[in-house]
Amino acid sequence: MANMQALWLENQTVTWKNDVPLPSTPTGEALVRVHLAGVCATDLELVRGYYPFTGILGHEFVGEVVESAGAPDWVGRRVVGEINAACGECEACRAAEIAAPPQLSPTHCERRTVLGIIQRDGVFAEYLSLPIVNLHHVPASVPDEAAVFTEPLAAALEIQEQVHIHPTERVLVIGAGRLGQLMAQTLALTGCDLKVVARHHHQKKLLEERGIHTLSEGDILEKKMDIVVEATGSAAGFHLARRAVRPRGVLVLKSTYKGEVQLNFSSLVVDEITLVGSRCGPFPPALRLLEQRLVDPTPLIEACYPLREGQLAIEHAARPGALKVLIKP
């Protein structure tokens, strides 16, 4: 079997290897040559030990199908891919198939594997394998540098799948990093009264160039926002979000938290706050926004490293205030 280059995570250490076997492609899966991959906050948390994963990191990618047993029409297509590979048989998968709208989703499959996160090698490599049903064709007008943002852009859009946002509502995003910037662009399309808490000058500049108003933490008024999206993944960010949301408002948690966050549940009950956990989202509308250029993620690209220098890419992405760092096999 041929080998490939990849970034391997083991015992919280990332190593470049050039002798990793090519992924196997069982029936129903495709072999994809990676064009570009993006470093995500989840990748950084995995390196820090957020979840016990050993294997190839990474889940944001754009690439080209080079092998697809049983579906030859996919070969040669430029694709992005949803990261949750579902079993198709458990309760969550069956409920998603028959319910309208589904109460459960394949993203909550009881036996799912997750690209570069749970029991499935990821995309910081020359090749990856994913089920064909997970793949989405990339329109010709969308360059690789934009298409590589499809997965986090879809995650940003999941908020609007879960919460109906009216143009009259006051919405606050806390955190203006990689995902926060994409959420701000998509939320701005709703016409809501949007504000974003941004700490770094370059984050503020990108938002203000798009007409999105920024705030400092000290500018936030207590209990005035209808919807608050917490995107920092920190206890301080959560408590700031809790302070900002009004009674009977909605608090969307768009980050995972390592460890525990202390919370006064009584205040949530008294103020009748709705908590919404939010993660993976819909790819087709994300690709439409990119194709129609209603969202432009390319100004977020801060650096691009060759795969062999992937450790440096991860270190770069971990710098405070860093935006998107890409890896090119």
291 CB burial (10 A radius; 0-12, 13-18, 19+):
middle
The single residue listed with the structure tokens 């938290």 is 257
CA 149/CA 75 separation, integer angstroms: 22
Three-state DSSP state, 251: strand
CA 17/CA 272 separation, integer angstroms: 52
Q: Give the chain's residues under pLDDT 50.
A: none
Give the chain's domains with CATH numbers. Answer: 3-149+297-328 (3.90.180.10), 156-277 (3.40.50.720)
**Which residues make beta-bridge pairs with 305?**
327
Res 108: pLDDT: 83
Res 155: pLDDT: 96
Nearest to 20 by CA among 5, 35, 37, 1: 5
pTM of the prediction?
0.93
pLDDT digits (tens, 9 = 90+) for 93-117: 877 766 555 555 668 888 899 999 9
Amino acid letter for position 155: A
CA 167/CA 299 separation, integer angstroms: 26
Nearest to 77 by CA among 62, 91, 92, 87: 62
Res 102: pLDDT: 53
16 close to 310: Cβ distance less than 8 angstroms: yes
Res 100: pLDDT: 52
